[in-house]
């Protein structure tokens, strides 16, 4: 049983004073239902979540008390990816024909303040100032630049592209293009990464309606197929956020959940990176986009310097990355972030992405999220 | 050898480093596969073995990567102000018996990018975070650039 995405909805990303995260989730859900031409009563089963904005299943009191099974998902940055994976399985197993996956969030301004004890770490780790995702990304790209010759100028180029793409996206938060100089010269947050190279925690909501592929045309003339969705946690030796220690040099390289999740998704889909026309990669900061290009198999380590210089990752390039502006331009409402990538992929495959449409009628899209404490979810979508 | 302030000082947590006297970070090494962890763990995340031996790590090692924390973290960060940027890095340390090795994440004593270089020698030291209610200085471990260290770890 194959799976199709037949409805997509979004609550714009950014800051929305007075609008709860749950309300943004409900808004996205209604948009997705309208896009599929169905009502809430038609949805047989739902999966959704947020990190910081409440329980998704309570949305039934707003959307309708239909009695459907609704499972809350709380899986860090992979919350949306996990909801999507569960929705996919619910259809593939034959249990349900029409399912919703959704995610939303609403975070206060400023960096996340993670609780060490919730991650199985001693309180000292937070008290001494080590429990910051920003530090991890700074240290990971610092090492990567040292090993593979990526320049600081390339970090600025990635962020400049994100804001350029965000300017073309009506749902994005940061819609003002910034020059590479403005980005490079903004405040240093976590060396070598500056303020405008980092995304900010934000707000937003996404909902998707999924169905059996053989029933997709009941709901849309432009179905997009979910060829694969994978979810992986870290293995020994990988370099992850919130790690008081690492193995010195594990045999076979560090690998990581992104590499494992991407490989699994491609294997299931029977496709490879060369088949992909448009991709969305976790860009918590600009270094992450660079490293994730290699980790997910789209290039070799170190090739990013030339690829980015030559415009390969631009909307008109051979491997467009983060066409909607990514996390950098949209911010990161954790529960919604991964599903935003899928929303953008569906728009691109429908040919409905407006000013930021990838030319040449893209046929295959890829999405990748990564987050604490070392999890990744990837998806391959086709039309 | 690094010395700790004798009077009115307390470690930020028990078991991270020997205290007082002859301070060293305390790791654990798996009897089955040789993986070294920091802090001490009860089971090995590599081979799932449960026989791990605690032991001191070397006082010096080499910087594997680094960054500078540029803004004041939110709680549970607990240090007396005013905030000043601080260095953070991973330092590659051998176990003191030379059988294991581990990259330990740590505060660094300098926040000057010009003084930090991947591969540079580093030495263990201790820095005060704050005064606790009894007036004791709460200490944590940190690494400082070292002129020279023995063999590369």
Distance CA A82, CA A88 (A): 10
Distance CA A360, CA A274 (A): 15
Q: Is CATH 3.30.70.1400 correct for A133-200+227-382?
A: no
Tally of CB atoms within 10 A around A115: 12
pTM: 0.95
Q: What are φ and ψ of residue A216, in 5° steps?
A: -60, -35
* Spatial contact of A73 and A82, defined as CB atoms under 8 Å apart: yes
- Does B77 contact A135 at a Cβ distance shorter than 8 Å? no
Q: What is the DSSP track for A216-241?
A: GGGT-SS-EEEEEEEEEE--TT---S
pLDDT tens per residue across span A107-152: 988 777 788 988 889 999 999 999 999 999 999 999 999 999 999 9
Distance CA A104, CA A53 (A): 7
pLDDT tens per residue across span B59-116: 999 999 999 999 999 999 999 989 999 999 999 999 999 989 999 999 999 999 999 9
Distance CA B74, CA A112 (A): 8
* Cβ neighbours of A285 in B, within 8 Å: none
Q: For A246, which residue in chain B has the nearest alpha carbon?
A: B103
Which of A129, A245, A247 is the closest to B79 by Cβ? A129
Which of B46, B73, B102 is the closest to A248 by Cβ? B102
Per-window interface: B 83-142 vs A, CB < 8 A: 86, 88-90, 92, 101-107, 113, 118, 129, 140
- Does B73 contact A131 at a Cβ distance shorter than 8 Å? yes
For domain A3-109+205-218, the CATH class is: alpha beta
Tally of CB atoms within 10 A around A58: 13
Which of A124, A139, A192 is the closest to B12 by Cβ? A124
- Does B86 contact A129 at a Cβ distance shorter than 8 Å? yes
**Chain A closest-CA separation from residue B85 CA (Å):** 10
* B63 beta partners: B91
**Chain B closest-CA separation from residue A45 CA (Å):** 37
| Confidence band, pLDDT 50/70/90 cuts, at residue B152 | very low
Written as six digits, the tokens of A289 are 């986009």
Q: What is the DSSP track for A268-293?
A: HHT--GGG-SEEE---SBHHHHHHHH
What's the pLDDT at A33? 98
Which of B65, B70, B104 is the closest to A245 by Cβ? B104
Where does chain A hold its CATH 3.40.47.10 domain(s)? 3-109+205-218, 133-200+227-382
Q: For B112, which residue in chain A has the nearest alpha carbon?
A: A191
Distance CA A79, CA A101 (A): 10
A128 close to B (CB below 8 A): yes
Q: Residue holding tokens 């997509």?
A: A8
Tally of CB atoms within 10 A around A229: 29
- Does B68 contact A190 at a Cβ distance shorter than 8 Å? yes
Per-window interface: A 138-157 vs B, CB < 8 A: 138-140, 142-143, 146
B89 contacts: CB under 8 Å, gap ≥ 6:
A139, B63, B64, B65, B66, B67, B105, B106, B108, B116, B122, B143
Q: How many A-B residue pairs are in contact by the CB < 8 A criterion?
A: 120
- Does A135 contact B78 at a Cβ distance shorter than 8 Å? no
End-to-end CA distance of chain A: 16
Distance CA A177, CA A155 (A): 15
A310-331 core/surface letters (b: 16 or more CB in 10 A; e: else):
eebbbbeeebbbbbbbbbbbbb
Q: What are φ and ψ of residue A371, in 5° steps?
A: -170, -175
Distance CA B83, CA A303 (A): 39
pLDDT tens per residue across span A158-211: 999 999 999 999 999 999 999 999 999 999 999 999 999 999 999 999 999 999
SS3 state of residue A269: helix
Q: What is the DSSP track for A71-109?
A: EE---GGGHHHHHHHHHHHHHHTTS-SEEEEEEEEE--S
Q: How far is CA A276 from CA A75, A382, B11, in A?
A: 27, 9, 53
SS3 state of residue B138: strand
SS3 state of residue B8: coil
Per-window interface: B 29-58 vs A, CB < 8 A: 35, 37-39, 45-46
What's the pLDDT at A113? 75
| Confidence band, pLDDT 50/70/90 cuts, at residue B6 | low
* Cβ neighbours of B131 in A, within 8 Å: none
A129 close to B (CB below 8 A): yes
A302 contacts: CB under 8 Å, gap ≥ 6:
A148, A149, A150, A294
| Confidence band, pLDDT 50/70/90 cuts, at residue B7 | low
Distance CA A310, CA A293 (A): 15
How many helices and strands (H and E) does chain B possess?
A: 0, 9
**Chain A closest-CA separation from residue B137 CA (Å):** 13
């Amino acid at each position: 049983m194959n799976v199709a995405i037949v409805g997509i909805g979004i609550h714009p990303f950014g800051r929305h004073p007075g609008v709860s995260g749950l309300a943004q989730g409900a808004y996205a859900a209604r948009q997705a239902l309208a896009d599929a031409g169905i009502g809430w009563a038609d949805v047989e089963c739902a999966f959704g979540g947020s990190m910081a904005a409440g329980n998704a299943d309570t949305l039934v009191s707003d959307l309708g008390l239909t009695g459907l099974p609704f499972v809350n998902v709380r899986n860090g940055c992979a919350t949306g990816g996990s909801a999507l994976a569960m929705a996919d399985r619910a259809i593939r197993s034959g249990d349900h024909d029409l399912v919703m996956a959704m995610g939303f969030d609403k975070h206060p301004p400023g960096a996340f303040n993670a609780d060490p004890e919730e991650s199985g770490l001693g309180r000292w780790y937070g008290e001494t100032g080590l429990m910051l995702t920003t530090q991890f990304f700074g240290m990971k790209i610092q090492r990567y630049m040292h090993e593979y010759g990526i320049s600081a100028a390339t970090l600025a180029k990635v962020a400049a592209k994100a804001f350029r793409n965000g300017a073309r996206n009506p749902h994005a938060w940061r819609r003002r293009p910034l020059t590479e100089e403005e980005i490079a010269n903004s405040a240093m947050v976590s060396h070598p990464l500056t303020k405008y190279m980092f995304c900010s925690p934000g707000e937003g909501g996404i909902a998707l309606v999924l169905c059996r592929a053989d029933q997709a045309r009941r709901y849309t003339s432009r179905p997009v197929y979910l060829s694969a969705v994978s979810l992986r946690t870290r293995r020994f030796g990988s370099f992850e956020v919130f790690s008081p220690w690492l193995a010195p040099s594990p045999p076979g390289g560090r690998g990581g959940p992104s590499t494992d999740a991407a490989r699994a998704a491609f294997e299931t889909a029977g496709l490879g990176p060369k088949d992909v026309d448009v991709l969305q990669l976790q860009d918590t900061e600009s270094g992450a986009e660079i490293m994730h290009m290699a980790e997910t198999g789209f290039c070799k380590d170190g090739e990013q310097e030339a690829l980015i210089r030559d415009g390969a990752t631009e909307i008109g390039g051979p491997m467009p990355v983060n066409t909607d502006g990514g996390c950098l331009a949209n911010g990161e409402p954790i529960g919604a972030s991964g599903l935003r990538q899928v929303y953008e992929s569906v728009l691109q495959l429908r040919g409905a992405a407006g000013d930021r449409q990838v030319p040449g009628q893209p046929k295959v899209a890829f999405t990748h999220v990564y987050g604490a404490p070392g999890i990744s979810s990837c998806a391959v979508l086709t039309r | 050898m690094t010395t700790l302030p004798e009077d009115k000082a307390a470690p930020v947590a028990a078991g991270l480093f020997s205290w007082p006297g002859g301070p060293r970070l305390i790791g654990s090494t798996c009897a089955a596969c040789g993986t070294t962890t920091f802090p001490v763990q009860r089971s090995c995340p590599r081979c799932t073995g449960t026989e791990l031996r605690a032991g001191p790590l070397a006082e010096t090692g080499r910087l594997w990567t680094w960054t500078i924390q540029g803004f004041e973290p939110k709680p549970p960060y607990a240090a007396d102000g005013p905030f000043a940027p601080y260095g953070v890095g991973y330092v590659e340390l051998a176990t003191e018996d030379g059988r294991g090795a581990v990259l330990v994440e740590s505060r660094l004593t300098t926040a000057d990018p010009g003084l930090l270089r991947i591969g540079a020698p580093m030495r263990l030291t201790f820095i005060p975070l704050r005064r606790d209610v009894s007036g004791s200085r709460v200490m944590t471990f940190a690494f400082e650039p070292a002129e020279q260290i023995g063999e590369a770890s």
